[in-house]
Amino acid sequence: MKKQITSAVLAFALLLSLIACGSSEQPAAEGSAAAETQSDVASDTTAAETEYPELEAKDFGGREFRILAYNQGDPGTWFQYLDFGYSEEKKGDLINDAVQERNIAVEDKYGIKLVNTTVADAPKVAKNAIKAGSDEFDICQPFIDTAFQMAGEGMLVDIISLPWLELERPYWDENIQRDLTLKGKLWAITGDISLFDKELSYIVYWNRVLAEKYELGECYDYVRSGSWTIDKMKELGRAVVQDLNGDGVMDASDVWGISTDYSVGRSWFFALGGQMASVDENGDPKIIMGEEKSQVIFDAMGNMMNDATLTILVTKVPNTWMGARELMKEDRLLFLPASLYTVSNYRAMEGDFGILPYPKLDENQERYYNQVASWVCPAISVPTTNQDLDFTGYMLEALCRESGENLQPAYIDVNLMTKVTRDDSSAEMLKLILDSKRYDLAVSFNWGKLSDIIAICAKEPSKFSSQLASKLEKTEAEMAKTLDQFAG
């Protein structure tokens, strides 16, 4: 097992040496002077970022660090792994073994025992314990949006206030801090310590067999140059569309450019540069969905999704999303946007495939974006019944640091242990996607249920103004109430 994990670490180290660090920049074109300079900078930056002083040595004498999480694989959950749980039955699985190795390393180093309790409804169990004033868990892992609802009920500790955490370090997710910090407070955190935000990231699967057949070029190069836009995706997708059986009817028996659905409109809205709420320099939120750009985004989404000469909606495919995956496997679909956790469905795919970020709205868009599905993505939160925040902060920092050395490289390795490993470019794309995560306060607090209008407007963009108007007053009122609650 040690040899296997070490191999993953070396692979990840090589990946980092090839890819520029920092989520605010996109890769330069291969072979360009910019790319060469970027590679040098990446090596220097990576070295600098990983040099940090050791935590003050502590031995807790076998003390338990108690974790409450969801069961693995229960209905309604959308992830394959547990952040802290190890299964003897899955011994030999790269992720399972990496979790165990990380756990043992931290336990041995700090004299603690990790106790991972999994239940069908983690928030319900956590809430019951908190309401009873019972200090049963040091941390819990509700879905991110659920954590913000719990914070509104006064059940969670502000993560930023915890001692020992060095949240500016690269092993903590800067994106969730940027997007979900309200008035200097944050109630859920993720980073190298967790796999969930990776599993619930959105990517585009790309069928390379079709791309080569129709001589569409390397999509990786479009991403690097910044020309991977929704129009480019449509252009390439339209080139492969074919009435395969010649019956004059385009349906799931034919070849398609894109398959997606209105129900995943949120992933498209954020990928194309949309936001519902932004946070200013004072930590104050503002609803910005009404800006003109949102209408442009909905028009672009609707144009693509409603184009029956290009796109087949998953609702029109037998077995919906599973059916769309079959189209991809059968080389009858060029692009399938979906969550990263579905990558395991393609490991037995006969043809080759690649991983791409969602496209930009246009080439003027500053960067690529990947909205994490915060409504089904667990993160780390701390109950207000926790009686030793110093211990909790220390252990979270220790676990996150250790995870960056083995757990995250193993995750990268496992998701590239497919035909996709034939080229380094998919590793580059995966790193770009994971560095481009986006969250939104209006989604996580569910102010006025504003996000409900996205699927409606993806289908009928002309309804955006009226839909926004129907929700805006309530949204603003609920946001103001939240702001008053946490202003102190």
At residue 378, φ and ψ (nearest 5 deg) are -70, 150
Asked whether the beta carbons of 117 and 67 are under 8 A apart, the reply is yes
| Pairing verdict, β 63-70 and 139-140 | parallel
| Pairing verdict, β 333-339 and 202-207 | antiparallel
Average pLDDT over residues 198-215: 95
d(CA 250, CA 244): 9
> Is 90 exceeded by the pLDDT of residue 1?
no
Q: What is the pLDDT of residue 345?
A: 82
Asked whether the beta carbons of 144 and 439 are under 8 A apart, the reply is yes
Query: Mind listing the domains of the chain with CATH numbers?
Result: 63-198+378-438 (3.40.190.10), 202-371+446-486 (3.40.190.10)
Tokens of 61: 């004498």
Torsion of CA 336, 339, 343, 344, to 10 degrees: -130
Extract the runs of DSSP E, i.e. beta strands, from 254-392: 256-260, 277-279, 285-287, 311-313, 333-339, 353-356, 370-371
**Confidence category of residue 159, pLDDT binned at 50, 70, 90:** very high
Tokens of 223: 């991403």
> CA-CA distances (angstroms) from residue 109 to 87, 105, 371?
22, 6, 36
Q: What is the pLDDT of residue 151?
A: 97
Three-state DSSP class for residue 94? helix
Asked whether the beta carbons of 468 and 290 are under 8 A apart, the reply is yes
Average pLDDT over residues 5-31: 37
Three-state DSSP class for residue 182? strand
246 burial via Cβ count (<10 Å: 0-12, 13-18, 19+)? exposed
DSSP 215-239: T---HHHHHHHT--BHHHHHHHHHH
> CA-CA distances (angstroms) from residue 462 to 208, 260, 487?
35, 20, 37
Asked whether the beta carbons of 386 and 68 are under 8 A apart, the reply is no
**Confidence category of residue 51, pLDDT binned at 50, 70, 90:** low
Asked whether the beta carbons of 22 and 45 are under 8 A apart, the reply is yes
The predicted-structure confidence for 268-312, as pLDDT tens digits, reads as follows 999 999 999 999 888 889 999 999 999 999 999 999 999 999 999
d(CA 70, CA 84): 11
- Which amino acid type is present at position 229? T
The predicted-structure confidence for 130-149, as pLDDT tens digits, reads as follows 999 999 999 999 999 999 99
Residue for token pair 């144009």 = 303
